[in-house]
Amino acid sequence: MVKVKVCGITNMEDALKAVEYGADALGFNFYPPSPRCITPEKARAIVAELPDKICNVALFVNEPRERVEEVLGYGLRADGRQAFQALQFHGDESPQYCRGWKLKVIKAFRIKDQALATRLRGFPADFYLLDAWAPGYGGSGSTFPWSWLAGLDSDKVILAGGLDIDNVQEAIRFVRPYGVDVCTGVEAKPGIKDHGKLKEFIHAAKNAG
């Protein structure tokens, strides 16, 4: 069954609802220009209330390694365990930058054309989050031709970009990714989830097989 990652979590209620509805992973955005940016303090408080089965993902954009390590260090639970299980790098991070982390690494790529297989081949990341190209470093909120992914190892693909209740099942059946990532498609406004859309999206994704 496909995994569902809900990104842009900014508050406790949205996090708990996502978990209740069946999300497998939650994304916490530490990119200051984003309207979904969250402080390490607030993220830590939310994560402390989540079950261990949830994969908590810390998202960064072109940050020095020291800053990432600082956030991770602050993100320790009271019992000393790490609050995050994966890192998502959503900027122009190099292969060298993406090596050597103790957590799983998700590298985001903004897909502008079909010639992406060459760029991804051998890139040192556990998963590739594939989004449509857009100016800047935020999520695009738009789809791209899924046929461009032909030939990729779909077991490493987390599909993003304009996914919503209406198209997520088609996307999963076409691409057969490891997971899907949703943010704007289930929002009431930037940083705040629409719980009705959130529930419908997760249900649709989980029943796409």
What pLDDT score was predicted for residue 177?
A: 96
- Verify whether residue 92 is a known catalytic residue: no
Residues of the chain with pLDDT under 50: none
20-51 pLDDT, tens per residue?
Answer: 999 999 999 999 999 999 999 999 999 999 99
Catalytic hit among 7, 24, 55, 181? 7
Catalytic hit among 14, 24, 55, 131? 131
What pLDDT score was predicted for residue 139?
A: 56
The full set of domains in the chain, from first to last, is 3-206 (3.20.20.70)
Q: Mapped to the 3 state alphabet, what secondary structure does the chain carry? A: CCEEEECCCCCHHHHHHHHHHCCCEEEEECCCCCCCECCHHHHHHHHCCCCCCCEEEEEECCCCHHHHHHHHHHCECCCCCECCCEEEECCCCCHHHHCCCCCEEEEEEEECCCCCHHHHCCCCCCEEEEEECCCCCCCCCCCCCHHHHCCCCHHHEEECCCCCCCCHHHHHHHHCCCEEEECHHHEEECCEECHHHHHHHHHHHHCCC
- Verify whether residue 166 is a known catalytic residue: no
Distance separating alpha carbons of residues 191 and 182, to the nearest angstrom: 12
Burial zone of 203 (CB within 10 Å; 0-12 exposed, 13-18 middle, 19+ buried): middle
Residue for token pair 């842009």: 8
What pLDDT score was predicted for residue 114?
A: 78
